[in-house]
Each structure stands twice: as C-alpha cells, then as structure tokens.
Chain A
Amino acid sequence: MTDHLDDTLQRVVDALRPLPDVDDAAKARVLVAVAAERHRDREALPKRVTSSPRRWVVRAVGLAAAAVVAAVLLRAPSTSKEPTPDVAAASPSASAPNARLATADADKGIALQSVQLVLRAPAASQVRVVGDFNAWDGNRSSMSRDPESGLWTATLALRPGRHVYAFIVDDSIWMRDPRAPAAADADFGRPGSVLLVGRP
C-alpha cells in the first residue's frame, strides 16, 4: 500500500486542490451565528447591572410625541453633519440621530422602550441590524428604506439597559452606528455601537 500517485490520480488531486471562491456573505453568516452563540452564553450568566451615561438615555415622553419626532427625523435627510452628496451617494454614512420612542409592554411586566435606529445608506440595497437584542440574527431585523432620503430605519422594542449592535449592509459590510458610541467589547473584532435605553 503506497501513497504514490500516478499521472491520472495526480491530475485528480490537481483539479481538487484549488481553494474555492469564498462568498463574503456566507462567511459573515458564520460570524453572526457564532456571535449569537456567544450571546446565548452570556444570557445564561447572571445579569450584570450597567450604568448608563445620561446623554445617551432619552426618557420616554409619550408615544404620540415620539411618533412626531420619528416622522420629523425620517423627513430630514440632510443635516449639517452629513457628508457631501457625492460621498453619500456612494456609501452608507451617518444619518439623523436615532430616536427613542416610548411604549409599554406587558411582556413579563417589563416596560419596553420603542427605539428607532436610523442609518443613511442611499446606495445600499439591503441593511439589517444585528445586536444582543436579536441574538445577532440579521434575519430578524431587516431595515426599511425611505427611497427619497436614502435613510434606513428599524423600530425595535427593547428592554431598558445597555445594548450592543451593528449594521450589516448588503450582506457584506459590517459597520457600527456612526452616531452612537463605539462598543469596547466588539464581538469577534467587528465594530459595534452601544445603545443605552432608559426606563420610562
């Protein structure tokens, strides 16, 4: 029994050895799946109370008032802090600040806060938000695009406390929310942002 390869088998091996093209989105799904696994591990641990810098906590002022704020934000595609139109047309970029809306939920007696995440990405064909609140599962939080402004939005009902999240643009670009503080504990070397949700 020998490992000697004759010409035919050598041709077979030569044909089988080249590495395949890797689909970036498939690799992204691996990291998202592993991040979800990590999140589940953390969920199994006792909860740790985290403090919330005041400037990132927006107290609830009522659903009606917040809806007005959201409507205003969605109709304000341009602010002085936004990039030039040329840059914005080619790439996702910062948008209006994310608005936090108040609501109540009877789920387990915990009052959830309605939080709106916004990303300006006029050239993107798909944007999803992943975070500890959806087990880093991008399939559970697609964002909606406003065709006029190029703003992508998602409204989430979140528990009060600290959340880490990121955006996945076109299944291939992982980016943090440019308008929120960067998370120091970025999962798997991928940048994330911190969202602090206050109690109503």
Chain B
Amino acid sequence: MGPRPADDAMSEPHRLRLVTSRDSATAAAVGDPSAAVARGALVEAARRGDVRAFAELVDTYYARCLRFALHMLSSRDDAEEAVQDTFVRVYRALPTYEERESFEPWLFRILANRCRSAGARARRHAELVEYGDVPERPVASGHDTAIAWREEIKLALAALPGDQREAFLMRHVEDLSYEDMSNATGAGVSALKMRVKRACDALRLRLAEVDRD
C-alpha cells in the first residue's frame, strides 16, 4: 500500500480534521473579544441541540483544552482522555447550562475536574513504579539548551502542588480573569491570587537555579 495523497479524491469524504494548533486564525479568534458574541451564539445553538454547533465548539476549544490538560498531566494519553471526557460531560450538561454563566470558565471547571481525577489515577499508578523505572533528569548541553529549558519548565510545573499549577495555568497561559477562575475552581479570588503568587515564586526560584547552572 503506497502513501496516500494529501487530498484524496474520495466520494464525499469528510475529514475529521477541522482545526489544529496550526490553525492560528481559529486560535486567535478564541482570544479575540470581538469573537465572543459569535462564540456565545455557538454555545446557545449547541445548548438548543444543534449538533453542528457542538462540533464547532469542539473544534474551537479542543487545542486549548488539550494544552491545559497536557500541562496538568504528564501523559498525552491521559490528557487526550481528559479532554474527551470533558466534552462528553459538557454535552451532557449543556441543557442545564445557563447563559448568564460564561462558557469558558464553565468549560475549564469541567476540564480541571477531569484533570484532577486523571492526576489522582496517575499518582496511584506512579506509586507502583519501581525506582529503576524512574526516568533520569535530562542533562542540558550545547545546542539543546532550548529543549532543556522546556524540560526544566515541565519538571518545575510538575513539582508544583496541583492547585497552584492549575491557578498559574488558568491565569497566565489561558488568560482567565480571577473572577472566571473563581467560577471555574470554586475558590475565592484572594485564595487564587495567593496560589498564583506561590506558583510564580516557586517557578522563579527553581528556574533561576537552572539559569545559573
């Protein structure tokens, strides 16, 4: 069987790929306030049972959800499963979703819950890993400094308590406001600011050491 051309001329095929991280236009639209109205209409249509609108919601938010899940969980499989679980639960809960609530915090609340559950499962599994199976810490050298830096960030992030990691990612990577974070996590704004501050302090301390090495 030879390689397949990129644009197979099939009879009415429907490629499942609708958006990827490379689709910068869609990714930008997520963060664009002017797109908020359109997204609101999409959510409302999905809430009324429009399945195409729901599929568009998946397309719009999948990459962002996966990014958050990947940073919360160390395994890509776990992250993809958490995201899948999230959208199934969003679908189930959409009829009870109320417009006065912002969609993104609501989505991230479900996603964060799924990541916490998956993280707990992963920790239970990790307890069974023998010491000899633990991967060694990567050593930086020469031209792979950038890769080593990303690895250090990954390790530093993983070393944070879950609630601090979650708060840091929501605030600084997902750009949620503290009010939205409060809606997503159920924690108060003051507590969330403290979590973000502690996460920043811990990351700064650990990564400053890396910079000095």
Cα distance, A59 to B121, chains bound together (Å)? 51
Q: Which of B4, B18, B19, B150 contacts A91 (CB 8 A)?
A: B4
**With A24-B16, A173-B13: A8-B207 Cβ-Cβ less than 8 Å:** yes
**Bound complex: CA A18 to CA B204 (Å):** 20
Closest to A171 in B: B16
Q: Which parts of B177-213 form the interface with A (CB within 8 Å)?
A: 193-194, 196-197, 200, 203-204, 207-208, 211
In the complex, what residue of chain A is closest to B80 when comparing beta carbons? A26
Q: Is the CB of B16 within 8 A of A28?
A: yes
Task: Kindly name the residue among B10, B17, B20 whose own CB sees the greatest number of chain A CB atoms within 10 A.
Answer: B10
B70 at the interface (CB under 8 A from A): yes
Those of A177-200 within 8 Å (CB) of chain B: 178, 182, 187-191
Given contact pairs A9-B204, A19-B64, A175 touches B14 in the complex (Cβ within 8 A): yes
Q: Nearest Cβ in chain A — how far from B35, in angstroms? A: 16
By a CB distance below 8 angstroms, the chain A residues around B153 are 12, 15-16
Q: Range of interface residues on chain A?
A: 35 or more
Say yes or no for B33: interface residue by CB 8 A criterion. Answer: no
Q: Does A148 contact B (CB under 8 A)?
A: no
B:21-51 near A, CB below 8 Å? 21-22, 27, 51
Bound-state CA distance A189–B16 (Å) is 10
| B72-113 interface bits toward A, Cβ cutoff 8 Å, 1 = contact, 0 = none | 000000001001100110011000000000000000000000
Complex Cα distance, B80 from A3, in Å, reads: 30
> Is the Cβ of A37 less than 8 Å from the Cβ of B88?
yes
From A1, A9, A27, A90, give the contact of B193 (CB < 8 A). Answer: A1
- A11 within 8 Å of B by Cβ? yes
8 Å CB interface, A13-63 against B: 13, 15-31, 33-34, 37-38
Is the Cβ of B63 less than 8 Å from the Cβ of A20?
A: yes
B38 smallest CB distance to A (angstroms): 17
Q: Are B91 and A38 in contact (CB under 8 A)?
A: yes
Q: A174-B16, A188-B52 are in contact. Are A94 and B67 (CB under 8 A)?
A: no
**In the complex with contacts A38-B51, A178-B11, A190-B14, A30-B203 CB distance below 8 A:** no
Compute how far the CA of A175 lies from the CA of B51 in the bound complex, rounded to whole angstroms: 17
Task: Provide the bound-state CA to CA distance between A189 and B59, in Å.
Answer: 12
**In the complex, which residue of chain A has the Cβ closest to the Cβ of B64?**
A19
Chain B interfacial positions (CB closer than 8 Å to A):
1-2, 4-5, 8-22, 27, 51-52, 54-56, 58-59, 62-64, 66-67, 70-71, 80, 83-84, 87-88, 91-92, 149-150, 153, 156-157, 169, 171-173, 193-194, 196-197, 200, 203-204, 207-208, 211
Given A29-B80, A93-B11, A173-B10, 4 extra CB contacts under 8 A: A22-B62, A30-B88, A168-B16, A169-B13
